[in-house]
C-alpha cells in the first residue's frame, strides 16, 4: 500500500485548519482522497484552505471538504459542535486537535483572561471535543485521535509559562487516554512540534491579550508546514503514539540538553534571551 493510501475516503476532522500546520494537513489529506472537515474561527481562512483542498480533487468528490467554524476555547459547546461535525459524513475516522495559541509574556504580566484563553484553547478545548467524539469512535470500534503539542510540552521556557503548561497537560492526557482506549481499537497520538514555519508567533498573545505580530527566528528557520504535514501523516499511517516534527538542529540540541544535562539546560534557559 502506498504511503497514506489508507486515508482514502476516511473522514478527517482538523481543528486549526484556517492556517499553518492545520491547513497544510488538510491539503495533504485531501490529496490522499480523504473527506476533510475544516475548523477554526476565521471563515475566510477556512475558505482559502477549502479552495486549496478542492484543487486536488476530482469533480465527483465535490462536497468532500466541509467547513465547521467555531471557537475552540468555548469548550462548553463541544457536544453541539461534535454533533454538527458528525452531521456531514456520519462519522469521524481521524480527529486532529491542532488548534492552538501561543504566548509571549512574563507570567506575572499575563492577564487572567489570557491565561483562560490559552488553557481553554490548547487543552480544555481538545479535552471536551475528544470527550464527545470518543464514545462515537468506541461504538464503531475504530478511530484515531491526534493532538498537536509542542517541544515546550516537554520542558518549560520563559515567556511561555501558560502555553507550556497547556501543552504539558496534553502529554499526560494523551498517555492516560491511549492506555484506556487501546482495547477499543482507538489510537491516541501526540504530535510534538519543534519549529515549523507558520504564523504561530504572529498570532501569539501578549500579556494584555493583544497579538505579538512578529515572526520569531525559530519559526522563520523551521521546517515548512507542508513538510510537517507529510511527517504527521506518515506517523499516523504507521499508528505511531508520538510523532516528532519540525525538529531542527536547534530543537534537537535543546531536547538533548534537557534530557541528558538538565542542569546545563536550566543554566542556559535562565540566561538566554527568549523572544
Q: Which residues bind ligand NAP (CB under 6 A)?
A: 15-22, 40-42, 45, 71-73, 98-102, 121, 148, 150, 193, 195-196, 198-200, 203, 219, 222, 246
Nearer to ligand NAP, 132 or 138 (CB): 132
Rounded least distance, CB 192 to ligand NAP, Å: 8
Rounded least distance, CB 138 to ligand NAP, Å: 25
What is the dihedral sign for C-alpha 34, 40, 42, 45?
negative
The single-letter DSSP state of residue 206 is P
Q: Is 163 a catalytic residue?
A: yes
Nearer to ligand NAP, 185 or 249 (CB): 249
Is the separation of the CB atoms in 148 and 101 below 8 Å?
no
Rounded least distance, CB 184 to ligand NAP, Å: 26
Q: Which of 49, 37, 45, 39 is nearest to 15 (CA)?
A: 39
Rounded least distance, CB 54 to ligand NAP, Å: 18
The residue assigned the cell 486549526 is: 16
Nearer to ligand NAP, 20 or 143 (CB): 20
Rounded least distance, CB 25 to ligand NAP, Å: 9
Cβ within 8 Å of residue 157, ≥6 positions away: 164, 269, 274
Cβ within 8 Å of residue 182, ≥6 positions away: none
The single-letter DSSP state of residue 93 is S
Q: Which of 69, 84, 160, 166 is nearest to 125 (CA)?
A: 166
The phi and psi torsions of 35 (rounded to 5 degrees) equal -90, 130
The single-letter DSSP state of residue 205 is B
Nearer to ligand NAP, 11 or 21 (CB): 21
In our burial notation (b when 16+ CB lie closer than 10 A, e otherwise), range 137-148 reads beeeeebbbbbb
Options 86, 163, 212, 267, the catalytic residue:
163
Is the separation of the CB atoms in 13 and 35 below 8 Å?
no
Rounded least distance, CB 40 to ligand NAP, Å: 3
Nearer to ligand NAP, 73 or 231 (CB): 73
- CA–CA dist 91, 89 (Å, integer): 5
Nearer to ligand NAP, 150 or 187 (CB): 150
Count of other CB atoms within 10 angstroms of residue 207? 18
Active site positions, annotated: 163
Amino acid at each position: 500500500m502506498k504511503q497514506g493510501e489508507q486515508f482514502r475516503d476516511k473522514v478527517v476532522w482538523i481543528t486549526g485548519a484556517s492556517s499553518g500546520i492545520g491547513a497544510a494537513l488538510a491539503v495533504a489529506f485531501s490529496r490522499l482522497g480523504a473527506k476533510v472537515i475544516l475548523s477554526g474561527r476565521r471563515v475566510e481562512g477556512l475558505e482559502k484552505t477549502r479552495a486549496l483542498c478542492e484543487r486536488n480533487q476530482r469533480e465527483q468528490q465535490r462536497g468532500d471538504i466541509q467547513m465547521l467554524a467555531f471557537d475552540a476555547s468555548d469548550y462548553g459547546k463541544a457536544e453541539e459542535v461534535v454533533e454538527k461535525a458528525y452531521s456531514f459524513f456520519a462519522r469521524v475516522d481521524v480527529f486532529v486537535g491542532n488548534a492552538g495559541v501561543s504566548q509571549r509574556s512574563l507570567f506575572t504580566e499575563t492577564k487572567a483572561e489570557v491565561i483562560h484563553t490559552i488553557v481553554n484553547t490548547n487543552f480544555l478545548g481538545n479535552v471536551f471535543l475528544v470527550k464527545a467524539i470518543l464514545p462515537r469512535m468506541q461504538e464503531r470500534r475504530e478511530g484515531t485521535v491526534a493532538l498537536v503539542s509542542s517541544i515546550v510540552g516537554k520542558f518549560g521556557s520563559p515567556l511561555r509559562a501558560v502555553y507550556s503548561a497547556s501543552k504539558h497537560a496534553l502529554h499526560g492526557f494523551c498517555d492516560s487516554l491511549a492506555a484506556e482506549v487501546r482495547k477499543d481499537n482507538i489510537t491516541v497520538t501526540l504530535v510534538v512540534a519543534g519549529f515549523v514555519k507558520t504564523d504561530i508567533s504572529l498570532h501569539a498573545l501578549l500579556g494584555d491579550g493583544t497579538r505579538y505580530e512578529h515572526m520569531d527566528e525559530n519559526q522563520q528557520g523551521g521546517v515548512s508546514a507542508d513538510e510537517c504535514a507529510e511527517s504527521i501523516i506518515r506517523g499516523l499511517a504507521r499508528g505511531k503514539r508520538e510523532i516528532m516534527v519540525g525538529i531542527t538542529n536547534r530543537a534537537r540540541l535543546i531536547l538533548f540538553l534537557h534530557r541528558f544535562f538538565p542542569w546545563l539546560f536550566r543554566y542556559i534557559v535562565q540566561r538566554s534571551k527568549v523572544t
